[in-house]
Amino acid sequence: MTQTTGRLFDEMARLVNDAAGVAQGVRREAETVMRAQMERFLRDMDLVKREEFDAVKDMAAAARAENERLADRLAALEARLDGHPAPPPSDPV
Protein backbone atom coordinates (compact mmCIF):
# COMPACT_ATOMS: atom_id res chain seq x y z
CA MET A 1 0.00 0.00 0.00
CA THR A 2 2.81 2.45 0.82
CA GLN A 3 4.51 1.80 -2.49
CA THR A 4 1.27 2.49 -4.38
CA THR A 5 0.65 5.69 -2.41
CA GLY A 6 4.21 6.87 -3.04
CA ARG A 7 3.85 6.12 -6.73
CA LEU A 8 0.57 8.05 -6.84
CA PHE A 9 2.21 11.05 -5.18
CA ASP A 10 5.14 10.84 -7.61
CA GLU A 11 2.77 10.84 -10.57
CA MET A 12 0.79 13.75 -9.12
CA ALA A 13 4.01 15.70 -8.46
CA ARG A 14 5.17 15.06 -12.02
CA LEU A 15 1.78 16.18 -13.35
CA VAL A 16 1.86 19.39 -11.26
CA ASN A 17 5.45 20.04 -12.32
CA ASP A 18 4.56 19.57 -15.99
CA ALA A 19 1.54 21.84 -15.59
CA ALA A 20 3.73 24.51 -13.98
CA GLY A 21 6.18 24.26 -16.88
CA VAL A 22 3.36 24.59 -19.39
CA ALA A 23 1.97 27.59 -17.48
CA GLN A 24 5.37 29.30 -17.59
CA GLY A 25 5.62 28.63 -21.31
CA VAL A 26 2.16 30.08 -21.87
CA ARG A 27 3.10 33.12 -19.78
CA ARG A 28 6.28 33.70 -21.81
CA GLU A 29 4.37 33.31 -25.06
CA ALA A 30 1.68 35.74 -23.89
CA GLU A 31 4.34 38.29 -22.88
CA THR A 32 6.04 37.92 -26.26
CA VAL A 33 2.77 38.42 -28.13
CA MET A 34 1.81 41.43 -25.97
CA ARG A 35 5.24 43.01 -26.40
CA ALA A 36 5.04 42.56 -30.18
CA GLN A 37 1.53 44.04 -30.26
CA MET A 38 2.61 47.05 -28.17
CA GLU A 39 5.68 47.65 -30.34
CA ARG A 40 3.53 47.47 -33.48
CA PHE A 41 0.97 49.83 -31.92
CA LEU A 42 3.66 52.36 -30.96
CA ARG A 43 5.33 52.07 -34.37
CA ASP A 44 1.98 52.67 -36.09
CA MET A 45 1.50 55.80 -33.98
CA ASP A 46 4.71 57.18 -35.52
CA LEU A 47 6.18 58.27 -32.19
CA VAL A 48 9.79 59.39 -31.88
CA LYS A 49 12.29 57.83 -29.53
CA ARG A 50 13.51 59.85 -26.57
CA GLU A 51 17.07 59.99 -27.94
CA GLU A 52 15.82 61.44 -31.24
CA PHE A 53 13.69 64.00 -29.41
CA ASP A 54 16.61 65.08 -27.22
CA ALA A 55 18.90 65.39 -30.27
CA VAL A 56 16.42 67.62 -32.12
CA LYS A 57 15.82 69.66 -28.95
CA ASP A 58 19.57 70.27 -28.59
CA MET A 59 19.83 71.23 -32.27
CA ALA A 60 16.96 73.71 -31.87
CA ALA A 61 18.61 75.28 -28.80
CA ALA A 62 21.91 75.63 -30.67
CA ALA A 63 20.12 77.16 -33.68
CA ARG A 64 18.28 79.59 -31.41
CA ALA A 65 21.55 80.68 -29.74
CA GLU A 66 23.23 81.09 -33.16
CA ASN A 67 20.25 83.12 -34.39
CA GLU A 68 20.49 85.44 -31.37
CA ARG A 69 24.24 85.82 -31.87
CA LEU A 70 23.77 86.69 -35.54
CA ALA A 71 20.96 89.13 -34.71
CA ASP A 72 23.26 90.94 -32.27
CA ARG A 73 26.04 91.02 -34.86
CA LEU A 74 23.66 92.33 -37.52
CA ALA A 75 22.41 95.05 -35.16
CA ALA A 76 26.02 96.07 -34.42
CA LEU A 77 26.89 96.21 -38.13
CA GLU A 78 23.77 98.23 -38.95
CA ALA A 79 24.55 100.63 -36.13
CA ARG A 80 28.10 101.09 -37.45
CA LEU A 81 26.75 101.80 -40.93
CA ASP A 82 24.33 104.39 -39.55
CA GLY A 83 27.07 106.00 -37.45
CA HIS A 84 25.47 105.04 -34.16
CA PRO A 85 27.19 103.15 -31.38
CA ALA A 86 26.35 99.45 -31.27
CA PRO A 87 23.69 98.34 -28.78
CA PRO A 88 24.83 95.99 -26.04
CA PRO A 89 24.47 92.31 -26.94
CA SER A 90 21.41 90.53 -25.57
CA ASP A 91 21.85 88.00 -22.78
CA PRO A 92 21.76 84.42 -24.05
CA VAL A 93 19.35 82.33 -22.02
Domain map of the chain by residue range? Answer: 1-47, 48-93
Confidence of residue 18 (pLDDT cuts 50, 70, 90): confident
Tell me what pLDDT residue 46 has: 82
- pTM over 0.75, yes/no: no
Q: How far apart are CA 40 and CA 77, in angstroms?
A: 54
90: closest CA among 42, 70, 77, 81? 70
Confidence of residue 2 (pLDDT cuts 50, 70, 90): low
